[in-house]
Structure 1
Amino acid sequence: MTVRAVELPRLWMPYPLRVNPYLSALHEESESWAREMGMLAGGEGPPDHRPVWTRSTFHAMTVDQLTAWTLPDASLADLRLNHRFNIWALAWDDYFASAFKQTGDLPGALVFTARLHAFLRPEQGARLPEPTNAVERGIADLQQRLFPPRLAHWRHEFNRALAKYIDAGVEELSNSRSGRIPHLIDYAPFRRESFAAYTAPYSVELATGARIPEQIRNSRTVRALLDAFMDVMGLANDIASYEREVNEERDVNNLVLVVGTSLGITLHDAVPAALNLVNARLRDFEHLRQSELPLLVRRSGLDHEERAELETWLHGAEGFLAGLHAWYTGAPRYASSDAPYPT
């Protein structure tokens, strides 16, 4: 049985889709950086570099739409920067899947991942290794661009999030090789890492120019809100990509499989259960946003400017979730298996 054979509840998305006005400019230059990094067949990378995509495959992913839909408030310069990061993250994902997941090459994956760690240097101007493939070339280039002066505080945090992302790929491969399906209790925190969700607050901050105020950033309420924000992203992706990951790539790291195995239920029941779990995490985000966060703001004594900055960041986070939902339900990257839930 496949996901599209199951009658599904609707994925709840209370936030409207907003589109960045610079989408057309992004579309015009969408492949230039990927080609320069050697990610596209026939690109400008060294001839011994293995390309990640054909030109048609790359454009079918509509990464420009993903970026413009998730960051509707970003300036053109910040949109371009995050666009390159999105391209790199998808390049890592597809390269890792074809080179290591599909072959089961765990030793090769460990070597590849160890080399990538050498590129994640928090020191500004640090000397990086010489890239040997398109993924390394991309991250080396991004390390020179990702940390504009106003966001220098993110250098350690963002690279730490990237380290979690690439390390999670090795753990996913190990699970698939052994046939070990993660347990539901452990899976949501792990999915935040394997989806690179810890980078998303940086993307929202880049787009909006706003930060969560220091006084409340490490509070229980804000940590819970960020966890729910990240869970919606990664867990919804699992449902959208179920056919691709499980039926084509034989991956076991997917919420639908996790729910079915952990609860001992069939796919017919696991699919709506997984969707309801995603909806529940979005309801958690909304409850924290509307009910608990205002109480925290009052108790913490945030001034007018700090409250306005928090509201700007939250509005950006809502736009991010709405944009991801639109991309999941409409992108050709997932459309080969039909949209797994109504749009």
Structure 2
Amino acid sequence: MTRQTIELPQLRMPYPAHVNSHFPALREENETWARRMGMLDCGALSACGAIWDTSQFHAMAVDRLTAWTVPDASLADLRLVHRLMLWTLAWDDHFAFKFKRTGDLPGARAFTARLHFFLSPVPGAEVPDPVNSVEKGLVDLQYDLLRSTPAHMRQELNRALRRYVDAGVQELVNNLAGRVPDLIEYALFRRESFAAYTAPCFVELSTGAAIPESIRRTRTVSALFDAFMDHMGLANDIVSYQREVDDEHDVNNLVVVLKASLGVSVQEALYAAADLVDARLRYFEHLAQTELPPVVRQAGLNPGERADLEAWLKGALGFLAGLYAWYTSARRYAPEGGPLAERHPTAEVVPVG
């Protein structure tokens, strides 16, 4: 299909991305888990049910994505985040190919219902035998999650993944009906459809620090989480616009939503989307610098809790910088006419330590 001629606006990202020191080890084993789960080709994709061939897999550069977004994670946590990120992309591409491109809503619902068996694990409970690479990967991940992560994080990650797969069904419903979501509705929905609710856990794994419980449910911290999650999902809508809209005919994209809501051209909608993404980052910065300090003082956080909060905030900005570095260099998002990095200079990437 001929793609629209558009100019992707450059997004503001003032924070450098750092590379996890365990990146060489992750790069060496980048394909291992995907092959073991059956996600990566066996010579012919249709013959073995794989999701990607080798070229497609390397175009995603998930090893770099992981190393940039969680630069301070241990090797064990880096592997876990890498597999979780690989799984979300495997689900995304499998769902798009099997259900979005065919319009198979009953099949999508049945597929998603089975995933819920694996995403609501009860120790000792029987679950179905996995019948495809997405289910097999989820079973393997549950074993790692149940074994290696704290209970609260297991619950948050599984809740986030349930919302993620359910959002896929709603996206398909929208596509089949030609229903472009309302802007306010879509901004909230995008946190689910991007699996953004996993990101606070990833930051915690990277930094070893969590938002102190005494302020976690305050209005300021809730707004901070929202701005953090909004930035990543809405920024992805800009860089993936041509892939999603031209190739997959998807209406679930911020640019499409703004075009319909504002009655403007695609190019104007792209610029408006970039402004909105930047506004979410600026709001995160405002909250952290201006509104959070009084909350911290009022809560009487001790020095250790303050240090955890600072580490988490720094890790969150590093996560966004890592995503930006990935968006602007991965061939998965390269527009027609050249690599994306040629149009968007990659964020400065510096080694940790």
Taking a change above 3 Å as real, the CA distance of residues 307 and 250 of structure 1, as seen in their structure-2 partners, is same
Instruction: Please report the RMSD computed on the Cα atoms of aligned residues, expressed in angstroms.
Output: 1.9
Please give the per-residue CA displacement for 1:171-207, whole angstroms capped at 9, x wherever unaligned. Answer: 0011011111111111111000000000111111111
Shift of 1:148: 4.7
CA deviation profile, 1:48-68 (whole Å, cap 9, x unmatched): 751100112111111000000
Question: What SS is found at the alignment partner of 1:18?
Answer: strand
Partner of 2:99: 100
- Mapping of residues 244-323 of structure 1, within 5 Å: 244-323=243-322
Structure-2 change in CA distance of 1:131 and 1:207 (3 Å): same
Whether 1:21 aligns to 2:21 is yes
For residue 287 of structure 2, what is the amino acid of its counterpart?
L
Select which of 320, 341, 344 maps to 1:342. 344
In structure 2, the partner of 1:11 is 11
What does residue range 49-64 of structure 1 map to in structure 2 within 5 Å? 50-64=49-63
Check 1:173–1:65 CA distance in 2 against 1; reply closer, same or farther (3 A cut): same
Output one character per residue of 1:270-314: Cα deviation in whole Å (capped at 9) or x when no partner.
110011000000001110111111111011100000001111111
Separation (CA, whole Å) in 2 of partners of 1:61 and 1:272: 25
- Per the normalisation by structure 1, the TM-score is 0.95
Q: How far apart are the structure 1 equivalents of 2:301 and 2:278?
A: 31
Q: d(CA) in 1 for partners of 2:219 and 2:323?
A: 26
CA contact (8 A) 1:260 1:266 kept: yes
SS at match of 2:12: coil
CA contact (8 A) 2:42 2:48 kept: no
Question: C-alpha displacement at 1:122, in angstroms?
Answer: 4.1
Shift of 1:234: 0.2
- Aligned partner of residue 224 in structure 1, secondary structure: helix
Task: Name the SS of the counterpart of 1:118 in structure 2.
Answer: helix
Larger mean Cα displacement after TM superposition, 12-21 or 111-120: 12-21
Q: Percent identity?
A: 61
Q: CA deviation at 1:155?
A: 2.1
Match of 2:350 in 1: none
Aligned to 2:349: none
Instruction: Say which SS state the counterpart of residue 153 (structure 1) adopts.
Output: helix
Provide closer, same or farther for how the CA distance between residues 286 and 37 of structure 1 changes in structure 2, counting only shifts above 3 A.
same
Once residues 211 and 219 of structure 2 are traced to their aligned partners in structure 1, the CA distance between those partners, rounded to angstroms, is 13
User: Where does structure 1 lack aligned partners over 5 or more consecutive residues?
Assistant: none
**What is the CA deviation profile of residues 35-92 of structure 1, one whole-angstrom value per residue up to 9, with x for unaligned ones?**
000001118x9x9751100112111111000000001010111101110111101000
Contact 2:203 2:315 survives alignment (8 Å): yes
> Which residue of the partner structure matches residue 332 of structure 2?
333
Separation in structure 2 between the aligned mates of residue 197 and residue 28 of structure 1, nearest angstrom = 27
> What's the secondary structure of 1:252's corresponding residue?
coil
Question: How many residues are matched?
Answer: 340
1:91 aligns with 2:98: no
Contact persistence 1:67–1:82 (CA under 8 A)? yes
Matched-pair contact (CA < 8 Å) for 2:183–2:257: yes
Structure 2 residue 117 is matched with structure 1 residue 118: yes
1:195 paired to 2:197: no
Structure 1 contact 239–275 (Cα < 8 Å) conserved: yes
For 1:170 and 1:52, how far apart are their aligned partners in 2? Answer: 19
What's the CA shift string for 1:155-177, capped at 9, x where partnerless?
Answer: 22221111100000000011011
Q: Name the amino acid aligned to 1:12.
A: R
Question: In the alignment, is the contact (CA less than 8 A) between 2:119 and 2:162 conserved in 1?
Answer: yes
| 1:226/1:52 CA distance change after superposition, 3 Å | same
Going from structure 1 to structure 2, the CA distance change for 1:163 and 1:220 (only over 3 Å counts) comes to same
CA distance in 2, matches of 1:152, 1:48: 39
Give the SS at the match of 2:276.
helix
> CA offsets, 1:97-144, max 9 Å, x none?
000000111110000000000101243454322000000000010001
CA apart distance, 1:268: 2.3
